[in-house]
Amino acid sequence: MSHLPVFLVAGLAEAPMSAAALGLQCDLPGSVLLRHDIHVEQRTLTRTIADLSGILEREVIDVEHLCVACAVREDIVPTLERLAALGRWEAVVTHLPLAADPTQVCRVVEPDHGRSRGFRVAGVVVGLEGESVRADLVGDDLLSERGLATSVGDRRGVAEVTSSLIEYADVVTVFGESDGVDLGLVDALSRPGAMVLTDWPGLHARDLLHGIHDHAASEAWVDEVRRDAVPQPRTPGVWTLDLVSDRPLHPDRLQAEIAALATGGHRSRGCFHLPSRPGAVCGWSGAGDALSIGTVGEWGGEQPITRIVVHGLVDEGSLTAGSAVAARKDVIQRAFESALLTDDELTSAAFLELRSDGLETWLGPIDAAA
């Protein structure tokens, strides 16, 4: 049994997402378009299905009693199963809601490669606006401030969402005028092997139908625990700082240094461990001037590691750009080293008796993480 190839189109702006979806449809003339639009205030989800013959279906779904992210996932997957069962099209181009996370679909489908569903994820494509890509990656706007929140309580930052979409994608395409350095940052964030395009040059149907999504590679690239070497940026004007140690971070000094580590208009992500929570893998995701940390798993039999990879941009408009970047990297490096446990602290048993480390708001109670 063949499995219908599905392409997920994600992003934060209507124009580049629609352009990417149209590009895919032109490259795949036997495809059907599945589109979902979220209306947060009305708490509705609109599903539209169309092909070259016109609109085939449009339905407004009440999601009053579901979180919108769950509603999207729970409607998209069954609809894709239904389209696959009809056997009328060669592929599906799925236009996700603005700011929706494609991993919500990929992680449901990929455990059995879609065998039980009749379709497979063949590609994740992210469409971006060239003129706003820098602000989208290093600015401090919230989704809600741009009218892009996917739920009433959505407090995510634009930069973190944009970075996360790029990091998971198989193809990132930037439409319109854009700076070469900005494209270099997109390239640095993208996983090795992913395509970074300007506009839509067209992709061969035979390659698309075969599939361009590498689920294992995408999951490994976005994993909080990273042990492989990090590629150096290929574009002058983009810098990378790889902060790595086998030592835990001191809870108090982490809080004292967190502003120096997380703010300043750069992308940072990775993991850390704490002596007060020896079994917990703590995830780190920062972008712009926003930071998210949380418990993401257990170390189990793995060697704990503290590693935060930072990507930033050189301000080319400044005559002292090089020295400013060096100074900024030095501040981040010193803050990281300051937060690490010292030799004496490594041999101390004091942390084992702690019932509070001041990080409960983000990581939960110590007992739950131990």
> Would the pLDDT of 17 be above 80?
yes
- Give burial (CB, 10 Å; 0-12/13-18/19+) of 281: buried
For 224, residues 6+ apart whose C-beta sits below 8 A from its C-beta are 269, 270, 271, 281, 283, 284, 285, 296, 297
Mean pLDDT value across residues 167-177: 95
Looking at residue 169, what is its pLDDT?
98
Asked if domains 4-222 and 238-369 share a fold, the reply is: no
Q: What is the pLDDT of residue 368?
A: 46
Mean pLDDT (whole number) for 349-357: 77
3-state helix, strand, coil in the chain (%, to 5): 35, 30, 35
* % of the chain residues with pLDDT over 90: 73
Is it the case that residue 319 has pLDDT exceeding 50?
Answer: no
> Given this model, what pLDDT does residue 66 score?
61
Q: How far is the C-alpha of 227 from the C-alpha of 156, rounded, in Å?
A: 27
Specify the CATH architecture of the domain 4-222: 3-Layer(aba) Sandwich (3.40)
pLDDT average, residue stretch 205-214: 93
* The overall pTM is greater than 0.75: yes
Fold classification of 238-369 is: Hypothetical Protein Yjia; Chain: A;domain 2 (3.30.1220)
Give one word for 121, left, alpha or beta, with left for phi > 0 and alpha for psi -120 to 50: beta
Pairing of strands 290-298, 171-175: unpaired
Residue range 223-243, pLDDT digits in tens: 999 999 999 999 888 999 999
Please give the mean pLDDT across all residues of the chain. 90
As given in the structure block, the two tokens for residue 68 are 């919108």
Contact, 318 vs 324, CB < 8 A? yes
Tokens of 268: 């940072």
Whether residue 148 has pLDDT greater than 60? yes
- Quote the pLDDT of residue 320: 47
Residue 174 has pLDDT above 60, yes or no: yes
| pLDDT of 351 | 76
**253-262, 270-279, 313-322 — which is least confidently predicted?**
313-322
How distant, in Å, are the alpha carbons of 6, 137, 291, 293 from that of 152?
Answer: 29, 23, 20, 21
pLDDT of residue 321: 58
Taking residues 36-47, what's their average pLDDT?
A: 88
Residue 283 CA to residue 263 CA, distance in Å, equals 17
What are the extents of the domains in the chain? 4-222, 238-369
43 pLDDT higher than 90? no
pLDDT of 333 higher than 90: yes
Mean pLDDT of 104-125: 87
Whole-number pLDDT of residue 38: 87
User: What is the model's pLDDT at position 65?
Assistant: 64
What average pLDDT does range 285-311 have in this prediction?
Answer: 94
pLDDT at residue 370, rounded to an integer: 44
pLDDT for 57-114, tens place per residue? 999 988 766 666 777 778 999 999 999 999 999 999 999 999 999 998 999 888 776 6
Residue bearing the bigger pLDDT, 137 or 42: 137
